[in-house]
């Protein structure tokens, strides 16, 4: 099933910006099903001529005589939606529906390496979007409602390693001990809390968030703003986790339960660790390299008491309380 916009591109007529509107008129008359023509400059899309807008302009008083001999760039719509072939259908649907009312049904123009590739009609986009949403629902984590491993793997495989990115590998510290003391029902509430905090911290960015399973999550940021996001996550988590403990445990700052060796011990309260891999200072050739580095960073991050985050472009751990 297609999940990337480049997989559903359609072919429509194109014209160089210097061609006259007579060429556009001929194309519309010859191809009755054509609703739009893409205007190019050196194979870069710069505008769109829609059938409706074109004949509205020509139908005005003196419109035919005024415009027919002029270049198509005079009548083209310049405010166009252009996306790369690797953009997800879900993201393109969001962008398309956020356009002005008069542009809602215009073609979405697709490029590859910044050169024109094709278009996607809104009808086809919405049909595929519905299919994708139905399919994604079958891969959602039933507790948090976040995409699970199937979708996570797909997103990682399509991660653009050239453009800016930050991969955040997130997990909870001492979560098993919390489950042992407070029970799985309360443990599920902590997992739901974590998912909510992550979504709220990421919502203003272009991002993907998935639930690997248990207390492990992964977030993909298509930028390098991981510090502000990580600080927001750790500080919010440290504040909100308090409501999931009784007063005695909060005052003690630990719970009594068995440690990993089966011996009753003082176990710290649940905290959150974030391992971050970015391409700020380092280049990657495969997703496997990113995953391997994230795994190593996570081990280092979990050695610190309390919530913290560590990125591959930094030399030391950062406490969650840092600002």
pLDDT digits (tens, 9 = 90+) for 144-156: 999 999 889 999 9
Distance CA 228, CA 254 (A): 28
Reading phi first (left if > 0) and then psi (alpha if -120 to 50, else beta), residue 239 is in alpha
Closest by CA to 82, choosing from 54, 41, 118, 51, is 118
Kindly calculate the radius of gyration of the chain based on its CA atoms and give it in whole angstroms: 26
pLDDT greater at residue 266 or residue 136:
266
Check if the beta carbon of residue 41 is closer than 8 Å to that of residue 17: yes
Q: Of 58-67, 71-80, 198-207, 271-280, where does mean pLDDT reach its minimum?
A: 58-67
* The predicted structure's pLDDT at residue 323: 36
142-319 CATH, one of 3.30.70.270, 1.10.260.40, 1.10.510.10, 3.30.565.10: 3.30.70.270
Q: Indicate if the pLDDT at residue 317 is higher than 80.
A: no
pTM score of the predicted model? 0.62
Q: Indicate if the pLDDT at residue 80 is higher than 50.
A: yes
Closest by CA to 160, choosing from 282, 311, 310, 284, is 284
Q: Indicate if the pLDDT at residue 322 is higher than 60.
A: no
Structure tokens at 180: 């042992």
Share of the chain above pLDDT 70, in %: 97
Homologous superfamily of 5-131 in CATH? CBS-domain (3.10.580.10)
Q: Which helix (H) or strand (E) holds 23?
A: helix 21-30
Average pLDDT in the 11-18 region? 96
Distance CA 320, CA 305 (A): 10
Stretch(es) of the chain classified as CATH 3.10.580.10? 5-131
pLDDT greater at residue 288 or residue 320:
288
Check if the beta carbon of residue 155 is closer than 8 Å to that of residue 208: yes
Name residues whose C-beta falls within 8 Å of residue 29's C-beta, 6 or more positions apart in sequence: none
Closest by CA to 119, choosing from 77, 80, 91, 79, is 80
Stretch(es) of the chain classified as CATH 3.30.70.270? 142-319
Check if the beta carbon of residue 122 is closer than 8 Å to that of residue 96: yes
Distance CA 238, CA 100 (A): 41
Mean pLDDT of the chain, nearest integer: 93
* The predicted structure's pLDDT at residue 216: 97
């Amino acid at each position: 099933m297609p999940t990337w916009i480049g997989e559903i591109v359609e072919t429509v007529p194109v014209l160089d910006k210097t061609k006259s509107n007579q060429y556009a008129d001929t194309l519309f008359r010859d191809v009755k099903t054509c609703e739009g023509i893409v205007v190019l400059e050196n194979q870069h899309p710069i505008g769109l001529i829609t059938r409706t807008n074109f004949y509205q302009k020509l139908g005005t008083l003196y419109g035919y005589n005024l415009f027919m001999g002029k270049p198509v760039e005079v009548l083209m719509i310049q405010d166009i939606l252009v996306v790369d072939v690797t953009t997800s259908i879900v993201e393109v649907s969001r962008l398309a529906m956020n356009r002005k009312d008069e542009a809602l049904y215009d073609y979405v123009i697709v490029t590859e390496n910044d050169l024109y590739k094709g278009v996607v009609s809104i009808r086809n986009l919405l049909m595929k979007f519905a299919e994708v949403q139905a399919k994604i629902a079958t891969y959602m984590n039933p507790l948090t409602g976040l995409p699970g491993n199937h979708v996570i793997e797909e997103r990682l495989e399509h991660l653009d390693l050239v453009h800016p990115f930050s991969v955040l590998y997130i997990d909870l510290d001492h979560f098993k001990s919390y489950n042992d003391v407070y029970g799985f029902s309360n443990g599920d509430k902590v997992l739901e809390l974590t998912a909510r905090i992550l979504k709220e911290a990421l919502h203003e960015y272009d991002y993907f968030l998935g639930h690997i399973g248990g207390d492990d999550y992964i977030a993909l940021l298509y930028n390098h703003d991981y510090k502000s996001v990580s600080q927001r996550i750790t500080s919010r988590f440290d504040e909100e986790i308090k409501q999931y403990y009784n007063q005695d445990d909060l005052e003690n700052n630990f719970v009594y339960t068995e440690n990993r060796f089966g011996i009753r011990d003082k176990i710290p309260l649940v905290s959150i660790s974030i391992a971050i891999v970015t391409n700020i200072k380092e280049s990657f050739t495969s997703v496997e390299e990113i995953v391997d580095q994230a795994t190593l960073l996570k081990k280092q991050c979990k050695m610190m008491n309390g919530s913290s985050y560590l990125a591959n472009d930094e030399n030391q751990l950062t406490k969650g309380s840092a600002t």
